[in-house]
Amino acid sequence: MNKEEELIRKKSPVNIRNKKAAFEYFFIETYTAGIVLTGTEIKSIRMGKAGLVDTFCFIHNGEIWVKGMSVSPYFYGSYNNHEMKRDRKLLLNRKEIQKLQSATKQTGYTIIPLLVFIDEHGRAKMDIALCKGKKEFDKRQTLKEKEDRRDMDRAMKHY
């Protein structure tokens, strides 16, 4: 990801993160995918009413889908409001999907959503990553590094 893409994500009015993903997995490769949404879903996401807790991606018939993403019903929606948790299709190139499919056939690898944001054209995008699960000692090491970083920041702030 280059500086320009990072700037777009920071400027986005909506940043819905999967906070547990960095603790649970090592990120091998990241991709940015579009999301196929209905009208009330995009309105809910623009209001920040979505969550990525316990979500994952799977590949079915050459298409990549996200499962478990919750998008709250739009408050001003009528009887044709969307379902809260449904499978949503992601938009990636065929080569990228084939690459992910071959990688996930190996044991221990999965595809996890990291971030939902709105790009400069007003479209909802999702950052996904090919991940490998961490073992218990890796998680302890991550917590230790986080605590050390926090201690260094406190020390630098004090002086």
Please give the average per-residue pLDDT across 15-33, as a whole number.
91
Length of the chain: 159
pLDDT classification of 1: cutoffs 50, 70, 90: low
CA distance 116 to 103: 23
- In the chain, the N- to C-terminal Cα span, in Å, equals 34
Closest C-alpha to 120, from 43, 40, 5, 17? 5
In sequence order, what are the residues at sequence separation of 6 or more whose Cβ sits closer than 8 angstroms to the Cβ of residue 119? 8, 12, 125
User: Does 122 score more than 90 pLDDT?
Assistant: no
Which pLDDT tens digit goes with each residue over 64-111? 999 999 998 888 877 778 888 999 999 999 999 999 999 999 998 999
Phi, psi dihedral angles at 47 (to 5 degrees) = -85, -5
